[in-house]
Structure 1
């Protein structure tokens, strides 16, 4: 929960140049809401890094194939 600014039942944080606002509304507590957002963000980043890794691997494979022909 590093870097969050707590404002009553809401918390804000700047991520990649955008302000993220999390409220306790759906989760019952602000701590739970922040953890849920952070877990979701972590899963999203892992997914995007996996996609990037596949793109890089495909590009390297194409380069290797081009060098063998």
Structure 2
């Protein structure tokens, strides 16, 4: 929960130049809402890094195949 600015019943944080605003809304507490957002963000980033890793591996495989021809 590092870097969040708490303003009453809302929290804000700047991520990649975009302002994120979280409210307790459906999570019951602001703490739970922030944790849910951070969990979702962590999973999204892991997924994107996995996709990037596959792309790099595929590219390296193609380069190795082209070199061996």
TM-score of the pair, normalised by structure 1:
0.99
Equivalent residue for 2:38? Answer: 38
The size of the alignment, in residue pairs, is 69
Compare the two structures and name the one with the higher helix fraction. Answer: 2
TM-score, with structure 2 as normaliser: 0.99
C-alpha displacement of 1:17: 0.5
1:7 aligns with 2:2: no
Structure 1 runs (4+) deviating above 2 angstroms are: none
Match of 2:54 in 1: 54
**Which consecutive residues of structure 1, in runs of 5 or more, have no partner in the other structure?**
none
Q: Where does structure 2 lack aligned partners over 5 or more consecutive residues?
A: none
State the Cα distance separating 1:64 from its structure 2 match: 0.1
For residues 22-57 of structure 1, the C-alpha deviation after alignment (integer angstroms, 9 at most, x for no partner) is 000110000000000000000000000000000000
Instruction: Give the distance between the partners of 2:7 and 2:25, measured in 1 at CA.
Output: 13
